[in-house]
Structure 1
Amino acid sequence: MTMEDSTKVKSDLVQIARLALSEKTDDVRLFVARLVRQYRGSEPALAEQLDNYLRTIAPSGASSFMRKESPPAQRSKAGEATAVPVDDESRLSLLKIFNEGPDYPKPLLDASVEQPLAQLLRERKQIKKLAGLGLHPTKSSVFVGAPGVGKTITARWIAAQLGVPLLVLDLTAVMSSLLGKSGANIRAALDYAKRIPCVLFLDEIDAIAKRRSDESDIGELKRLVTVILQEVDEWPPTGLLLAATNHPELIDPALWRRFDLVVDFKSPDATTIEAAINRFLGPDTLKFEKWVETLSYAFQKQSFSDIERDINRLRRTLALGGGTPQKLVEDVVTHKVTELGRAEQIEFALLLDSQTSLSQRSIHEITGVSRDTIRKHRKADSAAASRSRTRTTA
């Protein structure tokens, strides 16, 4: 068993123990059903044993077998109630539904991302005007970027701006253990999304739309690519189809041509990182005001989700009396500086020297940059500034 497999097994054990000790019987059965599908290929004996328990041990106090409460029915474009589709085997809903209000916060985005999204929203809000000119709005877009850069949050914000629910395809439910059923599940989910006012979001689309030249995939997955291609081609202009991927190199090339818009979510720049830090600090912003630039440098190359996690940990520690703002920032910086290259460490040391009251000894302990190096660069910067003033005076 690999380390990754061992970690997954431990995680599964913790999850099922938590559900069992919380006496969430229905959730335990649903989780075991997922394990059956997960291990059916790699551990068939284990999967069969788990499946037998599901079929022979009746849920206590339950009148139905392995059923999960479905999300409330949505209204079709004609105003009729329509039930959310489920997988026939597990009874899991194929779609997760998010209904955000108009006050859902705007995600922090780079200018290169904001511009195409603003255009997309303008088009979607003026469909009738475009139709009068014989034009269709952007009906599909794929978001590309590393985990944590805001792809999913952006999809939720777009749906909120348009005043419609966001439907997220649940791959756990869609990927049925029955041969040929996964494609039918995807068609059912997408057909449902076509009938109601909504934004449909296909997260991790590379999992179901891999290159058909990948010999490691079975025919079932290759057929899913064909299903996705057909659905994107036939997507109605009355709806918006969004997708996201962390691995664009895995996606079948034919799919790229089907999407009207490709949006590249880059790692946040310094300005955006500062804005993120101020937002995540919330009511503690003033306490860390003079350290924001330092934190911004420490968090370079980090995703929004990583920054939010670290800032929240910092705030919790402060709230529980775990140190002063300066000491907490120093701890964050000391941890993050090891991820920087040598040139970046020197630049960071000079920033700390000019922007903080830390001694050069403390800066050396934090960054590993010697005091001689700091003094040498400080003299060089002072000389350069002096020459610049002399030229300006002349």
Structure 2
Amino acid sequence: MTQIRDELAQVARLAVQGSDADVRMYLSRLVRRYRTDDPALANDLSEVLRRKAPQRPDRVTPNGGAPSTASASEDPQLSVLRSYASTDPVDAPVLASDLEGQLHRLLVERARVNDLARHGLSPASSAVFVGPPGVGKTRTARWLASELQLPLFALDLTAVMSSRLGQSGANLRYAFDRAKAEPSVLFLDEIDAIAKRRDDDGDVGELKRLVTIMLQEMDEWPSTSLLLAATNHPGLVDPALWRRFDMQITFDVPTGHELDAAIIRFLGDDEGLAEYAPLFRTVYEGKSYSEIERNLLAIRKWRVLAIGEPDDIVADVLATSVNAMSKDRRIALASELQQNSGLSQRRVSQLTGVSRDTIRKRVKELV
């Protein structure tokens, strides 16, 4: 009875303070605590948490959205999570058509939850993104949250991992409790760092305990929220955890139409760079979206600031990628540009570092 009185008093204090999210988070903890001792009470509390909390007028930002972050004074563990308001605009990522189809199905399931419920079905509530760095996994997570009009919580792994024994697990539980306190999207980037296979003898007990916590939290994850994870190394993730994800979505570097679409997106309204598109397409084959965006935005900025001639700017930014090519590959690139891009022989030579004589010889051989 003493414990129950303390818990009721704590709920009352949080409610009086107007801390809606904190109330829901505390109730999530009670659900976990009573799941064994009092399953009926745990189910009742879970049902309460499934209801979307009404937005309080005094907790609305000037632009009409929910606050994107909370004050550190409300809870010192808030540093574990980075938060983004549901009103934060996010541009749709450039994705392959099959990947777009998977994400569209995920959004449709979340939008038609009532139709599924009538047939005893639930929408996908978790997905893991697999792919190399820079292919849009994080941006896609933010875009999905924006499309669903839900706040996004991104787990800061550096904040979760603590040198204090047992604190890392407490940090991880806090992150899940906070995300479950209201309908939201929780994004766990580089999940392999905290969810490694438990048969890895090289890992310490603390990391294995984190996997156990992750398994427990995923088993209790509510269908009202969406759990997203990302990894560059799927083989490192514990198989038991891997099987709990409803969807496994693979991201790849852009090729073909996706590469062309990325180049067009990142060039924006700078029509003066359109003639370099064949060069960009060849140089950036096999590169990540983030590298393509970073380099093309640098070219655009330098053109706006008139830092050199256009050919010099393009050549300078692409120098690292072009110089990394073999001699034969650079010659092939130069001859391809000479034949298909409309650039002069002098400009092709300047951009690729291949002499004009070599370009002439190669083009004659191909004719």
Q: TM-score, structure 1 length as denominator?
A: 0.70
**1:335 and 1:180, CA in 2 relative to 1: closer, same or farther beyond 3 A?**
closer
Shift of 1:140: 0.6
**1:362 and 1:300, CA in 2 relative to 1: closer, same or farther beyond 3 A?**
same
Aligned pairs for 1:32-51 (under 5 A) are none
Shift of 1:362: 5.5
**Quick check: 1:252 aligned with 2:238?**
yes
Query: Bigger shift: 116-125 or 334-343?
Result: 334-343
Query: Does the CA contact (< 8 Å) of 1:74 and 1:84 recur in 2?
Result: no
Question: What amino acid sits opposite 1:351 in the alignment?
Answer: E
Match of 1:49 in 2: none
**1:333 and 1:93, CA in 2 relative to 1: closer, same or farther beyond 3 A?**
closer
**Quick check: 1:138 aligned with 2:120?**
no
Aligned pairs for 1:165-184 (under 5 A) are 165-184=151-170
**1:189 and 1:102, CA in 2 relative to 1: closer, same or farther beyond 3 A?**
closer
**1:234 and 1:344, CA in 2 relative to 1: closer, same or farther beyond 3 A?**
farther
Shift of 1:381: 4.5
| Aligned-partner Cα distance in 1 for 2:102–2:239 | 22
Match of 1:126 in 2: 112
**1:184 and 1:87, CA in 2 relative to 1: closer, same or farther beyond 3 A?**
farther
| Aligned-partner Cα distance in 2 for 1:96–1:183 | 18
Query: Does the CA contact (< 8 Å) of 1:85 and 1:192 recur in 2?
Result: no
| Aligned-partner Cα distance in 2 for 1:175–1:86 | 19
- Tell me the matched-pair count: 309
Aligned pairs for 1:67-78 (under 5 A) are 74=21, 77-78=52-53
Match of 2:218 in 1: 232
Q: 2:302 aligns with which of 317, 338, 344?
A: 317
Query: Does the CA contact (< 8 Å) of 2:349 and 2:355 recur in 1?
Result: yes
Query: Does the CA contact (< 8 Å) of 1:274 and 1:293 recur in 2?
Result: no
| Aligned-partner Cα distance in 1 for 2:303–2:164 | 52
Aligned pairs for 1:6-17 (under 5 A) are none
Please list the CA deviations of residues 298-356 of structure 1 after superposition, one character each: whole Å capped at 9, or x if unmatched.
22222122122212221222122212323322333443222335564343222211213
| Aligned-partner Cα distance in 1 for 2:99–2:324 | 27
Secondary structure of the residue aligned to 2:187 is strand
Shift of 1:166: 0.6
Shift of 1:220: 0.7
Query: Does the CA contact (< 8 Å) of 1:92 and 1:173 recur in 2?
Result: no
Match of 2:272 in 1: 287
| Aligned-partner Cα distance in 1 for 2:282–2:235 | 30
| Aligned-partner Cα distance in 2 for 1:290–1:122 | 40
Question: What amino acid sits opposite 1:301 in the alignment?
Answer: G
Query: Does the CA contact (< 8 Å) of 1:85 and 1:189 recur in 2?
Result: no
Q: 1:357 aligns with which of 322, 343, 367?
A: 343
Aligned pairs for 1:213-228 (under 5 A) are 213-228=199-214
Query: Does the CA contact (< 8 Å) of 1:349 and 1:369 recur in 2?
Result: yes
For structure 1, the residue ranges without an aligned partner over 5 or more in a row are 1-71, 383-394
Match of 2:248 in 1: 262
Query: Bigger shift: 134-143 or 370-379?
Result: 370-379
**Identical aligned pairs, as a percentage?**
47
Match of 2:93 in 1: 107
Q: 1:152 aligns with which of 130, 134, 138?
A: 138
Please list the CA deviations of residues 137-172 of structure 1 after superposition, one character each: whole Å capped at 9, or x if unmatched.
111100111111111110000000001111111223
| Aligned-partner Cα distance in 1 for 2:111–2:313 | 46
Shift of 1:244: 0.6
| Aligned-partner Cα distance in 1 for 2:151–2:53 | 16
**1:74 and 1:311, CA in 2 relative to 1: closer, same or farther beyond 3 A?**
farther
Query: Bigger shift: 174-183 or 331-340?
Result: 331-340
Q: 1:297 aligns with which of 274, 277, 282?
A: 282
| Aligned-partner Cα distance in 2 for 1:280–1:254 | 40
| Aligned-partner Cα distance in 2 for 1:342–1:145 | 30
**Quick check: 1:188 aligned with 2:164?**
no
**1:212 and 1:275, CA in 2 relative to 1: closer, same or farther beyond 3 A?**
same
Query: Does the CA contact (< 8 Å) of 1:232 and 1:258 recur in 2?
Result: yes
Secondary structure of the residue aligned to 2:222 is coil
**1:103 and 1:186, CA in 2 relative to 1: closer, same or farther beyond 3 A?**
closer
| Aligned-partner Cα distance in 2 for 1:88–1:297 | 52
Query: Does the CA contact (< 8 Å) of 1:281 and 1:312 recur in 2?
Result: yes
Secondary structure of the residue aligned to 1:293 is helix
| Aligned-partner Cα distance in 1 for 2:219–2:190 | 19
| Aligned-partner Cα distance in 2 for 1:209–1:78 | 31
| Aligned-partner Cα distance in 2 for 1:334–1:200 | 39
**1:85 and 1:217, CA in 2 relative to 1: closer, same or farther beyond 3 A?**
farther
Shift of 1:274: 2.6
Secondary structure of the residue aligned to 1:258 is coil
Query: Bigger shift: 285-294 or 372-381?
Result: 372-381
Secondary structure of the residue aligned to 2:79 is coil
Aligned-residue Cα RMSD (Å) equals 2.9
**1:175 and 1:73, CA in 2 relative to 1: closer, same or farther beyond 3 A?**
farther
Query: Does the CA contact (< 8 Å) of 1:90 and 1:173 recur in 2?
Result: no
Aligned pairs for 1:273-284 (under 5 A) are 273-283=259-269
**1:92 and 1:229, CA in 2 relative to 1: closer, same or farther beyond 3 A?**
same
**1:330 and 1:138, CA in 2 relative to 1: closer, same or farther beyond 3 A?**
same
Secondary structure of the residue aligned to 2:230 is strand
